[in-house]
Structure 1
């Protein structure tokens, strides 16, 4: 990832696909974080790289106020729409990159990064957010895979989505090297979060794992949206071949499940809690 640079097209066109394409975080995730941190409806939450508010809206009722930050304006528009639909009124949405923090946002009891930290200048952001946490504040790093389910050798009530074939189709259109915005991620996104956090002066982590064991039924159209919600298959990457790709993807899914219905087991979700 050393040669890759962030650019505003990273998730261009993807925001509208999140609601249908990404599986929702189970309520148990917010419950587990709330229980571990003793959340009681007070304090402030900062969600960095909040996207369309997927986790923000679940956690916000456990705080007096929440702020969602994202670099993609369309993601924030979707977050506002979802907040209004859910009746969540204590969230402020800010369009800015994590590297631009603190941006006058003040201090926070909790900062959460859900499937977002790897897109940032992690050393810089870790230090900036550390200075924004109030005494006793906690950084929560959530690792999850919500676009697809857990790969388990078991019989499910419906066919699984043919993810390997889907990835092969994406590669046939966009090439074998993973795309990301206007660049490429030959080795995938960066790992090693623990080393970054310790270098920035954090202690921990305390780990929480939520595994509901839920089997989720998904439609073919939900899988199409899941694909378009991914950075490496964002709609803009296909250019004038977008409709052609979408037709081929639907044909592939139709062959895998003539009924247009699929089943997947929700992957375990881990939250790592770090304290400065």
Structure 2
């Protein structure tokens, strides 16, 4: 990536794919409804979800299009996406194993291109320009700003205890060190930001802002464990031979916080920025 010293490598989410669908809190139907209303989605046209992971957003939006295509650099994520599509009887999807930088890859044009928790892993100026060139005449890009691995802290009463996120973070650091891991490299300053200027430099106008309110969800201890392993900063391969020991300590931490193994999460709001060429 031209914007920072960290370089993408195939181990970024190594071992995380099987945890991702269980550990990440699902996008709500309200997100699909809001996009459909704003963009007048009527079942026509095509969707391209870039950095689709296991298809969390792709599958949510698939029935609003003739065809939905997910692209991701991790083959295990795409295997999960294909499995989940089959389980949900969603038959208008395709999954392509390639990096965003290798688009357009003869995939054609699209009514909507989406980035959901993925854009920061890419060569953003290059990918933004590519995405603009892949839009149909009336097309748009939707950038989904969301955090799905954990909820927000707060003082309001919830039905069950919140997961002990701060303690989980410290436990991860005790094994992997204080600097955030990412594949074979580190992200001492976190992931890249400032995408608005990048979209505008690529020729987009906007953004138009949509916000989906947060909600309260019930989570099991298994789901919280899966959420940890779904992260690039705590992907299973990073722990090496100490993975079983780490997981045992993580589960003890969760049991101490909620002996019933049940937690409540107040999710963050989801912000969507719509960009048009």
TM over 0.5: yes
Partner of 2:13: 11
1:222 equivalent to 2:223? Answer: yes
1:134 deviates by: 1.0
The separation in 1 between residues aligned to 2:155 and 2:5, in whole angstroms, is: 37
1:150 deviates by: 2.2
TM-score, structure 1 normalization = 0.98
Count matched residues: 275
Partner of 1:111: 113
1:28 equivalent to 2:30? Answer: yes
Deviations 1:138-180 (A, max 9, x none): 0000010111112232111111000000000000000000000
Equivalent residue for 1:195, pick from 190, 194, 197: 197
SS in structure 2 at match of 1:55: helix
The separation in 1 between residues aligned to 2:119 and 2:150, in whole angstroms, is: 19
SS in structure 2 at match of 1:273: strand
Gaps of 5+ in 1: none
Partner of 1:120: 122
SS in structure 2 at match of 1:16: coil
Matches within 5 A, 1:1-276: 2-211=4-213, 213-276=214-277
TM-score, structure 2 normalization = 0.98
Deviations 1:192-236 (A, max 9, x none): 01011111110000010000x421111111100000000000000
Gaps of 5+ in 2: none
SS in structure 1 at match of 2:56: coil
Q: CA RMSD in A?
A: 0.8
The separation in 1 between residues aligned to 2:82 and 2:152, in whole angstroms, is: 30
- Structure 1 runs (4+) deviating above 4 angstroms are none
The separation in 2 between residues aligned to 1:4 and 1:214, in whole angstroms, is: 34
1:37 deviates by: 0.1
The separation in 1 between residues aligned to 2:5 and 2:246, in whole angstroms, is: 28
